[in-house]
């Protein structure tokens, strides 16, 4: 991958097959360095974030975790499969800028060895439905051309009838997925926005049309699709710009093959603001009217969020009435005011999305 300028390998990660496979795929001439002592690679740089440095480590934490929602808002019950941290893309609003206190594109070299423990959780709870994603702390497919993680994950998830794997991305790195011939229990999702936000704030990410072209290719190859408008941002002309994205969706994909579309507005922990100002001095995403929410995050005022979601629902409903539309981390009141209904509590939203899973993968 051309953006990788150097590679660090923790000595603990040297013995894993994934490490050797990744190293064999990195472009010749890229310097490698073995790190003997954990944490000795470099200090954290808020500006650089090591987005051109691949770092193979042996991860000591849990590989499967619940989505880090908060009890103050309705959460979907999603599970996160940790395959690495950080992302080569550079979106101005990215929460990873404040969440990650270690640099570099970290790949968990022991994923293959630890995956069995994750699969045991699924197999030990056959009556439960697990919606699992890899795109919380990294982009699901950004590094797939060098890690081939999809080759490892797709076969294991596709044979388990109580699990789906969602691969969420802003990239067009779908070649491994297409080549796999595995389709069952796999959702390929794209984060979308207006073209204005994509070009101005989603640095190094493909444009909206390229993402939708990749989505169309995946759909034509038999994959179920998902889409996520999160974070939506308000700025002069936002209605026309988001409507143009919806028009493009109509042009490129069949709505009958979409399992869900989520909506969420820009929100951030206060500590992100100075980092964004430092890393993206020309951004305007912080110029809106914000208030601190119940979870401590800064959010648009409630009427603004309701306007965003109501507008999207109105026009998405005109396109197709069964899109699995839902809100990410919002209150019962906002659900009612913007979508006209509410799951009430987090368990209600989980059941709603589990039912969508059954419907699309019956």
Which CATH number belongs to the domain containing residue 240 in this structure? 3.80.30.30
Residue 46 has pLDDT above 80, yes or no: no
Burial letters 255-281, b for 16+ CB under 10 A, else e: eeebbbbbbbbbbbeeebeebbeebbe
Asked, for residue 20, whether it belongs to a domain, the answer is: no
- Phi, psi for residue 257 in degrees, rounded to 5: -100, 20
Residue 338 has pLDDT above 90, yes or no: yes
- Residue closest to 49 by CA, chosen among 94, 14, 10: 94
- Residue closest to 56 by CA, chosen among 95, 89, 17, 90: 17
CB 109, CB 58: distance < 8 Å: yes
CB 172, CB 210: distance < 8 Å: yes
Asked, for residue 154, whether it belongs to a domain, the answer is: yes
Residue 44 has pLDDT above 50, yes or no: no
Give the Cα separation of 126 and 103 in Å (integer): 38
Interhelix angle for 302-319 vs 332-339, to 10°?
A: 40
Report the domain count for the chain.
Answer: 1
| pLDDT-based confidence at residue 362 (cuts at 50, 70, 90) | confident
pLDDT tens digits for 189-233? Answer: 999 999 999 999 999 999 999 999 999 999 999 999 999 999 999
The pTM of this model reads 0.96
- Residue closest to 7 by CA, chosen among 45, 28, 33: 33
Mean pLDDT, residues 126-137: 96
Asked, for residue 117, whether it belongs to a domain, the answer is: yes
Interhelix angle for 149-158 vs 111-124, to 10°?
A: 20
Asked, for residue 38, whether it belongs to a domain, the answer is: no
What rounded mean pLDDT belongs to the chain?
94
Asked, for residue 47, whether it belongs to a domain, the answer is: no
pLDDT at 337: 98
pLDDT tens digits for 10-38? Answer: 999 999 999 999 999 998 889 999 998 65
pLDDT at 36: 86
pLDDT tens digits for 227-276? Answer: 999 999 999 999 999 999 999 999 999 999 999 999 999 999 999 999 99
Interhelix angle for 238-252 vs 302-319, to 10°?
A: 30
Containing structural domain, residue 326: 62-360
> CB-based contacts of 176: which residues, under 8 Å, 6+ apart?
144, 145, 148, 150, 151
């Amino acid at each position: 991958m051309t953006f990788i300028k150097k590679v660090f390998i923790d000595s603990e990660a040297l013995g894993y097959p994934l490490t050797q496979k990744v190293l064999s795929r990195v472009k010749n001439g890229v310097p490698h360095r073995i790190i003997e002592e954990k944490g000795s690679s470099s200090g954290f740089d808020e500006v650089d974030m090591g987005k051109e440095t691949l770092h193979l480590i042996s991860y000591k934490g849990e590989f499967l975790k619940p989505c880090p929602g908060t009890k103050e808002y309705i959460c979907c019950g999603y599970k996160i499969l940790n395959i690495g941290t950080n992302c080569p893309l550079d979106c101005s609003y990215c929460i990873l800028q404040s969440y990650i206190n270690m640099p570099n594109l970290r790949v968990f070299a022991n994923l293959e060895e630890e995956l069995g423990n994750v699969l045991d959780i699924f197999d030990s709870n056959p009556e439960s439905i697990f919606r699992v994603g890899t795109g919380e702390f990294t982009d699901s497919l950004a590094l797939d051309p060098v890690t081939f993680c999809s080759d490892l994950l797709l076969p294991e998830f596709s044979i388990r009838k109580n699990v789906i794997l969602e691969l969420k991305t802003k990239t067009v790195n779908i070649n491994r997925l297409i080549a796999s011939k595995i389709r069952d229990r796999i959702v390929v999702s794209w984060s979308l926005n207006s073209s204005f936000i994509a070009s101005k704030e989603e640095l190094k990410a493909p444009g909206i049309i390229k993402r939708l072209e990749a989505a169309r290719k995946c759909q034509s190859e038999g994959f179920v699709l998902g889409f996520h408008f999160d974070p939506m941002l308000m700025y002069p002309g936002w209605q026309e710009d988001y409507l143009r994205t919806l028009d493009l969706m109509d042009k490129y994909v069949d709505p009958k093959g979409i399992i869900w579309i989520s909506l969420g507005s820009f929100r951030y922990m206060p500590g992100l603001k100075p980092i964004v100002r430092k890393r993206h001095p020309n951004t305007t995403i912080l110029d809106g009217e914000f208030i601190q929410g119940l979870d401590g995050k800064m959010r648009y005022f409630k009427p603004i969020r309701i306007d965003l979601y109501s507008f999207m629902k109105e026009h998405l409903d005109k396109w197709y009435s069964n899109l699995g539309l839902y809100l990410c981390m919002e209150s019962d009141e906002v659900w009612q005011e913007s979508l006209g209904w509410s799951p009430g509590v987090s368990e209600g939203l989980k059941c709603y999305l589990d039912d969508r899973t059954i419907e699309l993968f019956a």
